Amino acid sequence: MPKLVDLLHESGMFVVAEGIETRDDLMLAARSNVDFVQGWLLFGKPNGALAPRGVATPLFEHVFDTLAQLRRTERLAGDLLLMPYRSNLSQFGAAHRGGREHRGSLRRTARPAHTQLVASFSIRRAANSRPRCAASVRKSRASASRRSLIRRAAAGTIVRSPYFVEAHAKPQEVIVSAPHLSVTGLSLCVTLTVTTQCAGRTIVAGTDLDWRRLINDAPSIL
């Protein structure tokens, strides 16, 4: 629902969520950033008298306070869960920038069960100045057909991915994508990417993490 609301907002529309009858309904509407809500929870069932002014204000304040706390907690938990992977990619970028091969930091992850794919892409420019991309899959839990798809996609779709473009524009900075469905698996994943230089080549390295598995294992990790 949040993605749908974002799409409608990008199209210049306001969004109304109807049928808000429970606090969970209202929380979902708030998390999805809708503009207006309507339902029995707010003012009661239809009757002949107007609801008193401000009757719904405490309910809205409680929901927004709860949502703000929840988002802070989720952000902190997400940062802690991704910290080992961010550190590994930072080490990889720093080592290559210093002229050293450091493939171990790219392959090594804190919990391999969460890793769907680890790959690096060497970018070079052809005579027509269009970037060419050669993929090297270092380690993968994906099937052979999906690894093949990654290599074929490297020349086209990968270089147009928002996280790839952002990483290329911000060398040495680890870029973390929003959860998305990747060609490397059937579950939502989060992609971490970093761009560095080595021997005159631009290298973009990254890893796909199984986000759902990582979240499920969060209590034991944290």
d(CA 110, CA 84): 6
- Residues near 4 by Cβ (< 8 Å), separated by ≥ 6? 32
Candidates 157, 145, 215; CA nearest to 184 is: 145
d(CA 48, CA 171): 64
Whether 132 has a pLDDT exceeding 90, the answer reads no
User: Residue 140 — pLDDT band, cuts 50, 70, 90?
Assistant: very low
Least confident of 20-29, 37-46, 157-166: 157-166
Whether 128 has a pLDDT exceeding 60, the answer reads no
Q: What share of the chain is helix, strand, coil (3-state, %, to 5)?
A: 45, 25, 30
Amino acid at 70: L
CB 203 within 8 A of CB 121: yes
Pick 172 or 117 by higher pLDDT.
172
Query: Highest-confidence range of 8-22, 85-99, 105-119, 197-211, by mean pLDDT?
Result: 8-22
Class of domain 102-221: alpha beta
The whole-number average pLDDT for the span 142-148 is 51
* DSSP assignment letter at 108: -
β-pair partners for 192: 176, 207
Least confident of 38-42, 188-192, 196-200, 207-211: 196-200
Whether 206 has a pLDDT exceeding 70, the answer reads yes
Residue entry with tokens 């294992």: 217
β-pair partners for 117: 140, 208
**pTM of the complete model:** 0.62
Q: Where are the domains of the chain?
A: 102-221
The whole-number average pLDDT for the span 206-212 is 83
Question: First vs last Cα of the chain: how many Å apart?
Answer: 28
Copy the structure tokens of residue 70: 């929840």
Q: Rg (Cα) of the chain, in Å, rounded?
A: 23
Orientation angle between helical segments 57-97 and 23-31, nearest 10 degrees: 40
The whole-number average pLDDT for the span 139-147 is 49
Cα four-point dihedral sign 181, 175, 142, 160: positive
User: Residue 69 — pLDDT band, cuts 50, 70, 90?
Assistant: confident
